[in-house]
A = this chain, B = another copy of it.
């Protein structure tokens, strides 16, 4: 998605050798026109898969997921919630996940009433790095007997291996801006 790559290249801030922040248009401040373009593009890529739910995780992705859902016949968006500890109860599905940024093992949970065996789910993540968050979200869908139709990230850092692991596990991964490397303050995209 060229528009997105251009924005990342021009406005993203590289942190260290493997992180990039996009606070000025995707996180801290949201460019709504860009979010709508992202939603349309995700719809174009995943349209044939009969998706009836979008699953994401709290904070940064929720706005993108909500806008994207307006292009998917208003399918519900479900937001898994991150917790520092195992919050397992009878009413929730729980999955372990380890985020790239904090290097600690978090868990994510979701109310059982929000997912079921008929669900055909698109998983949306803002940044796909090592893939632990996406893997955890897949686990939540599968605990409910649902189907993970695909995984999309706004930014995929391919060089950190998450997408490869997810593809090896049989998942369809199709991200909007795939970064192959970050070198000398420069971001390199696939294609």
- A70 x B32 contact (CB < 8 A): yes
- B30 x A69 contact (CB < 8 A): yes
Given the interface contacts A23-B111, A36-B70, A113-B24, does A29 sit within 8 Å of B63 by beta carbon? no
Contact of A69 among B24, B32, B62, B75 (CB under 8 A): B32
Q: How far is the CB of A110 from chain B (nearest CB, A)?
A: 7
A177 within 8 A of B: no
Instruction: Name the residue of chain B whose CB is nearest to the CB of A110.
Output: B28
Counted per complex, copies of this chain come to 2
How far is B27's CA from A110's CA once the two chains are assembled, in angstroms?
12
Count A-side interface residues using an 8 Å CB cutoff: 32
A105 within 8 A of B: no
How far is B24's CA from A114's CA once the two chains are assembled, in angstroms?
8
How far is B59's CA from A31's CA once the two chains are assembled, in angstroms?
17
A122 within 8 A of B: no
Please, which residues of chain B bring their CB within 8 A of the CB of A69? 30, 32
How far is B54's CA from A32's CA once the two chains are assembled, in angstroms?
11
Q: Which of A28, A35, A78 lies at the interface centre, i.e. has the most chain B CB atoms within 10 A of its CB? A: A28
- B62 x A32 contact (CB < 8 A): no
Q: How far is the CB of A186 from chain B (nearest CB, A)?
A: 23
How far is B23's CA from A30's CA once the two chains are assembled, in angstroms?
24
Please, which residues of chain B bring their CB within 8 A of the CB of A63? 62-63, 65-66, 77
Interface 0/1 of A49-70, CB less than 8 Å to B:
0000000001100111111011
Please, which residues of chain B bring their CB within 8 A of the CB of A35? 66
Please, which residues of chain B bring their CB within 8 A of the CB of A70? 32, 36, 67, 70
Q: Tell me the A residues contacting B by CB distance below 8 Å.
A: 23-24, 27-33, 35-36, 58-59, 62-67, 69-70, 74-79, 81, 110-111, 113-114
